[in-house]
Amino acid sequence: MTDDSAPAPSLPPDAVRRAVALALAEDAAWRDVTTGALVPLDQQGRAVIIAKAPGVLAGLPVAEAVFRTLDASLAFEAAAADGARLSPGQIVANIAGALNPILRGERVALNFLQRLSGVATATARLVEALEGLPTRLPDGQARLLDTRKTTPGLRALEKYAVRVGGGHSHRFNLADGILIKDNHLAALKARGQGIAEAIRVARLGSPHTLRVEIEVTSVDQALEALAAGAEVLLLDNMDLEDMRRVAGVARGRALTEASGGITLENVRAVAETGVDFISVGAITHSAPALDMSLDVVEE
């Protein structure tokens, strides 16, 4: 699902190791009493991971890391690659070796695969709805962004899945960019200060390499922010006509980002207003898991 001209999304190895270690510890995979009682350590076999629903695959390297953490000698053979379109019944991977560690890692590996593939699938559907719509960005593509509305501890993995699905990353954490939101403005208002002062102080207190982005909920607020030198306007839950007006006024002066209430049904109409970015929290906080299973193969 990724752009062939862009570098392939990559997973930070440290983030994978941490996530896998925590998940295996949470599941007490090293102390699986059922598998320990029923499956001898020396029993060999093979299992397959199968897609049960259509979607976009993401997280296969994480699933492999689960099994290799439990037993480095296991053979993990991918039958598809992250970004591939899956059909029901399609084999995603083959795992061979000792069945004991395969069964101990089954649920954790599937949890990662299902979660990340669900994020990639939800992202891909929105990206496809934007196909053919040019914007003012250099790459000529309507750009869909994720947010920080991610599962605690899994942000790097979920943002990777967004990129696999064809989306782009917003700031990774609070240190990555200036984003003045409604509660920041409320805190300043309590001290008798407004939008212009918020932008001025934010710029003075941050590196010159960071853009100043501010959340606005009305055309008047947007115009005030533009006059104060905001470089990005986050249009929060604006109606289409107001978005179109702000995008037109901001052209050549600031970038615009639409956010709030974005769905598969309205995302194209939002893009057609002329905004530069569309950020969607639902692709990470509400993406349905993509159904998969692990089955031991009887030989």
Query: pLDDT band at residue 102, thresholds of 50, 70 and 90?
Result: very high
32 is catalytic: no
Which residues partner with 76 through β-bridges?
A: 95
Which segments of the chain belong to CATH 3.20.20.70? 130-285
- Encode pLDDT of 114-142 as tens digits: 999 999 999 999 999 998 876 555 555 56
Residues of the chain with pLDDT > 90, as a percent, come to 90
Q: Where in the chain is the domain with CATH 3.90.1170.20?
A: 13-127+288-297
Averaged pLDDT, 134-161: 83
Give me the catalytic one of 213, 215, 231, 257.
215
Q: How confident is the model at residue 164 (pLDDT cuts 50, 70, 90)?
A: very high
CATH number of 13-127+288-297: 3.90.1170.20
Catalytic residue among 18, 46, 52, 107: 107
Whole-prediction pTM: 0.93
Q: How confident is the prediction for the chain on average, in pLDDT?
A: 94
Which option is the CATH number for 130-285: 3.20.20.70, 3.30.70.100, 3.60.15.10, 3.40.1390.20? 3.20.20.70
From the candidates 26, 176, 181, 239, which is the catalytic residue? 181
Q: Which residue in the list 64, 236, 257, 276 is annotated as catalytic?
A: 236
Give the pLDDT confidence score for residue 2 in this predicted structure. Answer: 47
| Per-residue pLDDT, 276 | 92
Query: At residue 151, what are phi and psi to the nearest 5 degrees?
Result: -70, 125
Write down the catalytic residue from 46, 68, 85, 149.
149
The answer to which of 89-98, 144-153, 203-212 has the lowest mean pLDDT is 203-212
Q: Is the pLDDT of residue 299 over 90?
A: no
Q: With bands split at pLDDT 50, 70 and 90, how would you rate the model's confidence at 7?
A: low
In the predicted structure, residue 6 carries a pLDDT above the cut 70: no
- Residue 91 banded pLDDT, cuts 50, 70, 90: very high
Active-site annotation holds for 181: yes
Residue 107 designated active-site: yes
- Measured CA to CA, the distance from residue 231 to residue 217 in angstroms comes to 16
Please work out, in degrees rounded to the nearest 5, the angle formed at the alpha carbon of residue 248 by the alpha carbons of 247 and 250. 65
137: number of Cβ within 10 Å: 12
Is 149 one of the annotated active-site residues of the chain? yes
209 contacts: CB under 8 Å, gap ≥ 6: none
Task: Out of 6-15, 59-68, 191-200, pick the least confident.
Answer: 6-15
What average pLDDT does range 6-24 have in this prediction? 91
Region 68-79: mean pLDDT is 98
